[in-house]
Amino acid sequence: MGKKFIKSVFVVLSLVVLFSLFACEKRETFEPEIKGVQSQMTAYTGDVFDFMAGITATDKYGKDVTDKVKYYTAAPMNEKGELIQSGEYSVRYELEINGVVLTQEYAMLKVIFKKPDVITDNMIFNGDFSSGYTDPFVLSQFENGTGTFGVENEELYVNITNIAAAQASPRVDYNDLQLDPDKFYEVRFDARANVPRWLHIQIGQLIDSAPWFYSVDPIERYFHLDTTMQTFSFRFQPSTKEGADMTKISLLFEFGKMKDEAILTTCFLDNIVMQEVDSLGEDTTPPTITAPSGEFIAYVGEKLNVPVTAYDDFDKDITDRLEVSGDEIPVDENGLLTTEGVYTLIYKVKDTAGNEATATVTVKVNPPRQFADPDNILGTITDESLYKESGIAEETDAEANPYKLVIWYDMGGWIGAPSNAVYAIEDGVLKITMTQPAGSTWFATQLFYYSLPVKDGGTYALTFKLNSSKAGKITVNDTVVDVVEGMNEIKVKVTVAPEAQFPEKIQFGTSSNNPNMGDCEVEISDVKASPWEDEGDEEPEYADPENILGTVTDESLYQESGIAEEKVAQENPYKLVIWYDMGGWA
């Protein structure tokens, strides 16, 4: 019995030693990790967003410790956990065990405003700003007009920090209104300013290219703000004259330079209302005269044709009622201008209700206009052709100085790092040495060159030689051109309207997805414009009328450059083109 007991004890001790040896073996370890974090997330106002959806975590032994993950964000939420303000907000995830943060991950949450389904006579949501937030109003800043905005004491404030030369910026926008051109509408709002100033309102469709805006209310709407809150209102019937899409209308409150004032102050808006009404009411608003600002340039030997129109909210287009007075401008028996000088014309118009408007236009009559030599439209580049007045210059300088080569480069780093250019003309050859960092914009270096006006216009071939130190892509008069290292013979088609200048515009890059050429040296020579001749008699290709959009296949995606512009889709039929906002434009 004693031997059995001793044997049992021995077995037990052996097992203990064995387990101890196993326990002493080193366990495999890992880096603690948070998994499933998306760098970009999207949600809508009103959503209860699950920040932990798809998130897991493991500790250094690979054990699931998801319950130890915490997240932190400044995204505004109400007591129900609903997101209540649009914007972009960072989200930080932390894995914390025993009071120690072992790892972190970061994400961005983009909250998009979603208008609640609320039926009301007022077409403006949150116009009294009782929510405490700015949605769905947005602040637009462009052309160096800047500001900040927010809600304070249930009023929208706009702190104007810089004013654009144009009256439109900075600006507060209310978008996505839908109007009916057969109905009448009234706009009401309260407004004040810390320093008295003017406010301008426009209503229409914002578009992505020139002319940038289609108005549905051609009447000029100026309102003078005082330091005390005042109520303003006006009525209008949407105009279809400019072709605006009535489902994409914006109400715009503009705080730029107007009436020769550029005042930095803080302005306040409240109780903004737009609603249908049964009529335009009493006609107390003067007509609007649209006329050139600054000097209108005319030429001896040509007819005077000042583009002046008049519009009234009740009577609509009343241009034919305009009366002109002021200086008498001499013309011959054919109505052609005969005498140089500066003249003042006064335009006056009255609507049916007796409201009157006037506008003054200064006309400068220059000597007879010179036109480009039809046999040598772009002239000859010489050592004197470089525009040197200010080192670098704008496209407008090229237009104002025909036959002068104008160089522009991005000294300020508008979108990315700044660029530089050293240039000279030697024996009719323009040499440019460019420094274009990878982070700088595709239009970091540009060349502009304009002729005198081409009297009859026409379609031409712009040709020149380009000797480049590296290969890449450039843009010539909005046409993307492939460049090889060494000599290139460039040819693009250019159409010029009668009496317009022939342009040569080169950007040494193409777009955000085809960036600038980088550091390189180029030589440009033999720049010519000659009548365009179609090459060959090939019949144009047309879409199959029974299958206009073709068939989408695995080959349909335009993948040459990742993302691309709309014009790339136009130039490449039956290719699907994707564009997304890599640059954070808005």
Which alpha helices (H) appear in 446-575, and where do they start and end?
Answer: 566-571
| Per-residue pLDDT tens digits for 496-513 | 999 999 999 999 988 756
Is the pLDDT at 14 greater than 80? The verdict is: no
Average pLDDT over residues 205-215: 89
Give the lowest-confidence range in 191-200, 294-303, 544-553, 564-573.
564-573
Is the pLDDT at 13 greater than 60? The verdict is: no
Average pLDDT over residues 229-239: 96
Is the pLDDT at 205 greater than 90? The verdict is: yes
Is the pLDDT at 25 greater than 60? The verdict is: no
| Per-residue pLDDT tens digits for 318-329 | 999 999 999 999
Task: Give me the chain's average pLDDT, please.
Answer: 88
Is the pLDDT at 16 greater than 70? The verdict is: no
Share of the chain above pLDDT 70, in %: 91
| Per-residue pLDDT tens digits for 550-574 | 888 877 787 655 566 777 777 788 8
Q: How does residue 6 score in pLDDT terms, banded at 50, 70 and 90? A: low
Give me the pLDDT at residue 462, please. 96
- In which element (H, E) is residue 24 found? helix 2-24
DSSP characters over 162-229: E--SSTT-SEEEEEEE---TTSEEEEEEEEEESS-EEEEEEEEEE-SSTT-EEES--S-EEEEE-SS-
The closest alpha carbon to 452, from 416, 400, 395, 408, belongs to 400
Alpha-carbon distance of 416 to 585, in angstroms, equals 12
Largest CA distance in the chain: 145
Cα-based angle 544, 546, 550 (whole degrees, multiple of 5)? 60
Share of the chain above pLDDT 90, in %: 65
CB of 212 closer than 8 Å to CB of 143: no
| Per-residue pLDDT tens digits for 85-102 | 898 999 999 999 999 999
Q: How does residue 586 score in pLDDT terms, banded at 50, 70 and 90? A: very low
The closest alpha carbon to 444, from 474, 424, 469, belongs to 474
Give me the pLDDT at residue 512, please. 58
CB of 442 closer than 8 Å to CB of 514: yes
Per the model's pLDDT, the better-predicted residue between 361 and 576 turns out to be 361
Name residues whose C-beta falls within 8 Å of residue 491's C-beta, 6 or more positions apart in sequence. Answer: 461, 462, 463
Is the pLDDT at 540 greater than 70? The verdict is: no
Residue 331 DSSP symbol: B
